[in-house]
Amino acid sequence: MKDQKIVNLIKEGNELGFIKLADKYEKLLFYIAKGILGSRTEDIEECVNDTYIKFWNNIDKYDINKASLKTYLKIIVRNTAINRLRDLSRHENNQISDDISEVAKYYADNRQDVEDKIFAGESIKKLNELIKGLKPKDKEIVIRKYFYLQSSKQIAKAMKMSVTAVDSRASRAKKKLKNDFYKE
């Protein structure tokens, strides 16, 4: 079923819309959430369910001409999973899964030591432009590593590269972004 039809059904409050949405995108949403949260099935399910609820709550603001339904859902599930990861790390017993990526673990372990920041619109815009300016492979690695929090092994498998090559390119890309970001 086409995305516009799914959105229309959901707007009408028709349950079929949600069924079709899940049919089409649930696998992808689970994959993204699992990449960030590891094997914590309950948290992954909750994360995906929260994604549907957030989508439903903001359905009137959603404009299919600005973003495809798939991309919109990817953003919601990713940010929901990151928030969940942060909450789990703050929990007394530190309930982070052992099988999350190294970057997710680093984020979970160190996030509470970093002050919550409100990023200026200009900074966000600048970062986006810098990422767009990266070479295609570097751009994909940065997005996979820092947006989806994938492990180097996962990225290497997906991009048919060695883990060493992924790490090397990620390190160089991160350095370039940092240097260019603070350059006046």
Q: Which is nearer to another protein, 12 or 87 (CB)?
A: 87
- Using CB under 8 A, which residues numbered 45 to 104 contact another protein? 66-68, 70-71, 74-75, 78-79, 82, 103
**Tokens encoding 165:** 């090559």
Q: Which is nearer to another protein, 61 or 132 (CB)?
A: 132
Binding mask 8-27 for another protein (x = CB under 8 A): -------------------x
Q: Which of 33, 148, 151, 169 binds another protein (CB under 8 A)?
A: 148
Q: SS3 letters for the chain?
A: CCHHHHHHHHHCCCHHHHHHHHHHHHHHHHHHHHHHHCCCHHHHHHHHHHHHHHHHHCCCCCCCCCCCHHHHHHHHHHHHHHHHHHHHHHCCCCCCCCCCCHHHHHHHHHHHHCCCCCCCHHHHHHHHHHHHCCCHHHHHHHHHHHHCCCCHHHHHHHHCCCHHHHHHHHHHHHHHHHHHHHCC
Q: Which of 39, 41, 110, 162 binds another protein (CB under 8 A)?
A: 110
Q: Which is nearer to another protein, 172 or 174 (CB)?
A: 174
Question: According to the binding rule CB under 8 A, does residue 111 interact with another protein?
Answer: yes
Q: Which is nearer to another protein, 46 or 111 (CB)?
A: 111
Question: According to the binding rule CB under 8 A, does residue 122 interact with another protein?
Answer: no
Contact 72, 66 (CB under 8 A): no
Residues in contact with another protein by the rule CB under 8 A: 27-28, 31-32, 66-68, 70-71, 74-75, 78-79, 82, 103, 106-107, 110-111, 114, 117, 119, 123-124, 127-128, 131-132, 139-140, 143-144, 146-149, 154, 158, 174, 177-178, 181-182
